[in-house]
């Protein structure tokens, strides 16, 4: 699997029972705390391997740091990354740094998977139910944090959500067996769902009142604290999305909000959905049954 299906990672089959999952991701700091930034960047990079159903094994740092950035800050960013990779039972085996005006950090990750177990983002089936494994609102909260508008509780919720590995959710979905999966990152829930719907040639219907969202993001959205990326995401797909009057605007804003290290969006056969929800019961993050998959309709996405 390569670049043609806009999936989360590429997969290269080595033998009948082993394939490599390869991915790379890096970005500029989302928070002022260098150790947390390192953890978030690593959790985000590892997530694309989990989204394919893979188990991360090896990681390499990719970093850009300004010449005058204190060595201790660099050490903390790299330590944050290393600690998350360790938590994922994988190893940091090297990397490369170049000088740049703005710091950037992330990982190239190699994971293992059995070729038959690969979960793509383009195999959702009509009749499936959709489960989201982390709450939305991270881009809005990060924007609010930069403006000093977020409470300590809101900050802590955003941080614990972004630093959380998608490993628990991945293990749950692999145990149950699911049809399709992607992780929710820069394009927001609607953008990544649109890719799943188009790739699978189905329509996805969301239940807007059942979407897990970090409470404080809703009040920030009502105040208009919404990152430009959320508008770009909506603009990109608006011709393919039908939004019912019943859906609250602040929920729609959170659904198009770009997520940093967001959760997995999983499409699971209806008969297995209860098993998956059971497996997720001890999830470290809020999760929810957020929608269903139907035969293709006039719109790729319907929000009710
Ligand atoms: Co992804
Ligand atoms: Co990615
Ligand atoms: Co080198």
pLDDT tens per residue across span 56-91: 999 999 999 999 999 999 999 999 999 999 999 999
Say if CB 66 and CB 180 are below 8 A apart: no
What's the confidence (pLDDT) of residue 3? 60
- Report the alpha-carbon distance of residue 1 to residue 5 in Å, rounded: 8
Round to whole Å and give the CA distance between 29 and 149: 18
- Does one domain contain both 145 and 183? yes
In a domain, 124, yes or no: no
Residue 48 Cα to ligand 2 midpoint, Å, equals 6
Question: Would you say residue 2 lies in a domain?
Answer: no
Q: How many domains does the chain have?
A: 2
Centre of ligand 3 to C-alpha 164, Å, is: 30
Identify the sign of the CA torsion 228, 232, 233, 239.
positive
The rounded Å distance from CA 71 to ligand 1 centre is 31
Chain segment 137-154, per-residue pLDDT in tens: 999 999 999 999 999 999
Does residue 123 fall inside a structural domain? no
Ligand nearest to the CA of 60: 3
- CA 63–ligand 3 middle distance (angstroms): 11
The rounded Å distance from CA 119 to ligand 1 centre is: 12
Q: Quick one: 39 and 85 in the same domain? A: yes
Q: Are 62 and 26 in contact (CB under 8 A)?
A: yes
pLDDT at 6: 73
- 40, 70, 258 from 228: Cα distances, Å: 21, 31, 9
Identify whether 4 is part of a domain: no
pLDDT in tens, 4-57: 667 889 999 999 999 999 999 999 999 999 999 999 999 999 999 999 999 999
Residues 86 and 154 in one domain: no
Structure tokens at 117: 């177990």
Note the pLDDT tens digit of each residue in 267-292.
Answer: 999 999 999 999 999 999 999 999 99
7 CA from centroid of ligand 2 (Å):
9
Q: What is the pLDDT of residue 2?
A: 65
What percentage of the chain carries pLDDT values higher than 90? 97
What average pLDDT score do residues 226-247 get? 97
What percent of the chain is predicted at pLDDT more than 70? 99
Enter the tokens of residue 153: 């509780």
Spatial separation of the C-alpha atoms in residues 113 and 100, rounded to whole Å:
35
Query: 35 and 166: one domain?
Result: no
Residues near 84 by Cβ (< 8 Å), separated by ≥ 6?
A: 38, 39, 42, 43, 46, 163, 165
The torsion of the CA quartet 60, 64, 70, 73, rounded to 10 degrees, works out to -50
Least confident of 7-11, 23-27, 117-121, 226-230: 7-11
Q: Which domain holds residue 160?
A: 129-303
Same-domain pairing of 163 and 262: yes
- Residue 90: C-alpha distances to residues 19, 104, 154, 197 (Å): 16, 21, 30, 32
CA of 260 to the centre of ligand 3 (A): 28
CA of 299 to the centre of ligand 1 (A): 23
- Tell me how far the alpha carbon of residue 74 lies from the centroid of ligand 2, in angstroms: 23
Nearest to 291 by CA among 190, 217, 200, 167: 190
d(CA 232, CA 136) in angstroms, rounded, equals 17
* Ligand 2 geometric centre to CA of 216 (Å): 26
CA of 67 to the centre of ligand 1 (A): 31
Instruction: Indicate which CATH number applies to the domain containing 27.
Output: 3.30.1330.10
Mean pLDDT across the chain, nearest whole number?
Answer: 97
**In sequence order, what DSSP letters do the residues of 191-220 get, joined into one string?**
HHHHHHHHHHT-EEEE-GGG--B-HHHHHH
In a domain, 1, yes or no: no
């Amino acid at each position: 699997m390569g670049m043609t299906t806009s999936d989360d990672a590429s997969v290269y089959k080595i033998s009948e029972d082993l394939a490599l999952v390869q991915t790379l991701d890096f970005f500029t700091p989302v928070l002022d705390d260098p150790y947390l930034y390192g953890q978030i960047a690593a959790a985000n990079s590892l997530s694309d391997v989990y989204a394919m159903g893979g188990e991360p094994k090896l990681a390499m740092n990719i970093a850009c740091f300004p010449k005058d950035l204190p060595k201790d800050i660099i050490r903390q960013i790299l330590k944050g990354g290393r600690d998350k990779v360790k938590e994922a039972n994988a190893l940091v085996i090297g990397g490369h740094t170049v000088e740049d005006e703005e710091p950037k950090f992330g990982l190239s990750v190699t994971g293992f998977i059995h070729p038959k177990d690969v979960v793509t983002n383009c195999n959702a089936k009509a009749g499936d139910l959709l489960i989201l494994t982390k709450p939305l609102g991270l881009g809005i909260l990060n924007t609010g944090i930069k403006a000093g508008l977020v409470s300590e509780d809101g900050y802590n919720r955003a941080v614990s959500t972004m630093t959380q590995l998608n490993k628990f959710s991945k293990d749950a979905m692999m145990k149950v067996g699911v049809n399709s999966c992607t992780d929710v990152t820069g394009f927001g829930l609607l953008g990544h769902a649109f890719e799943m719907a188009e790739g699978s040639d189905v329509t996805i219907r969301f239940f807007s009142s059942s979407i897990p969202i970090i409470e404080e993001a809703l009040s920030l959205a009502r105040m208009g604290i919404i990152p430009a990326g959320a508008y770009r995401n909506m603009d990109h797909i608006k011709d393919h999305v039908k939004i019912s009057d019943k859906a609250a605007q602040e929920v729609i804003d959170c659904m198009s909000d770009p997520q940093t290290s967001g959760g997995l969006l999983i499409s699971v056969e209806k008969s297995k959905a209860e098993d998956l929800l059971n497996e997720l019961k001890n999830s470290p993050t809020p999760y929810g049954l957020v929608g269903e998959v139907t035969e293709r309709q006039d719109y790729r996405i319907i929000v009710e």
